[in-house]
Amino acid sequence: MKITILGSGDTRGLPKVGCDCATCRQALESGFERKRFGLLVESNETNVLIDASPDLRRAMLQHGFSSKDLDAVLLTHEHYDHVAGLGDFFYEGNTVPLYARPDCIAHVFSEHAYGYLRGFRLFDFHKVDWLTPFSIGGHSGIKITTVPVSHSIETAGFVLEDGGKKVAVLTDCRSDVPPETMDAIRGCDLLLTDGWLESVEQFKHAYRPFHPELSDAQFDAAMVTKTRNHLLIPEATALAEKTEAKKTVLLHVAHSASPHAVLSKRFDSATLQIGFDGLVLGV
């Protein structure tokens, strides 16, 4: 399998609009960018897109593909930064199979969201069940298993298998990964998951100012413990070790983290890498 990172950032992207932090300044000066999350998976002439971010149009142009080249779209959940690019499938003249959890399909294509896209018949909808494998691309295609991920809303991870290799995609992931998901991803050849920030202290520095009404103890209890919905880099590293992943690439990196060069120097190793837009991985 060949996996191309279309977007390695979180919902704000990098540089964040209007931000004067050191990481955003460095990104503006150097031209470094983190688009919102997305993956293109290619194997045996089977092409699968995972999530459709607001930056999908630019990613398609940069990497030279359109909906005509896709055999399927997988959606992890209905948050804006993962589905707002679905309209970029307009007027290609073909229908793409779209796989997601029932609630995700219902929310995304409701009359209050992107329901108007139904009229263009852009997608053929498939509701997926937890831990029930299905295949894209026929017998020689990619076997996909949907696994539950802990996040602020119901979120799906995906385990992709082809040619004896296994890739696990757990984006927008908390540290309390369900046991059945741990079992499904164990021993994977490649784990793609969150590397949102570097430490709890960095999280507090970035988000404490947004909650002046809370005492420090209240903030720690409410925000740090209960509602921090992405893995910090040390937590992602622990997940990789616990599941014996052969290689781990960290994505969904926030602008509040250090510049990419600093992150790479600090964390990259033979088995772990800080992801970036345009990175191509072979499994």
Domain boundaries, the chain: 2-282
Q: What is the pLDDT of residue 226?
A: 67
- 72-74 and 123-127 strand pairing: unpaired
- Helix (H) or strand (E) segment spanning residue 81: helix 80-83
Other CB atoms within a 10 A radius of the CB of residue 23 amount to 23
Residue 239 has pLDDT above 90, yes or no: yes
Q: What is the pLDDT of residue 138?
A: 76
Task: Record the tokens describing residue 11, joined without a space.
Answer: 């919902």
The DSSP code for 212 is T
Residue 105 pLDDT: 98
**Per the CATH hierarchy, to which homologous superfamily does domain 2-282 belong?**
Ribonuclease Z/Hydroxyacylglutathione hydrolase-like (3.60.15.10)
Reported confidence tier of residue 140, pLDDT bands at 50, 70, 90 = confident
Mean pLDDT, the chain, as a whole number? 94
pLDDT digits (tens, 9 = 90+) for 142-160: 999 999 999 999 999 999 9
Indicate whether 228 pLDDT > 90. Answer: no
194-221 pLDDT per residue, tens: 999 999 999 988 888 888 999 999 888 8
Tell me the chain's radius of gyration from C-alpha atoms: 18
Measured CA distances, 112 to 103, 116, 121, 206, 239 (Å): 14, 9, 18, 32, 37
Q: What are phi and psi of 170, to 5 degrees?
A: -125, 80
* Tokens read off for 70: 């896709």
Predicted confidence (pLDDT) per residue in 45-93, tens digit: 899 999 999 999 999 999 999 999 999 999 999 999 999 999 888 766 7
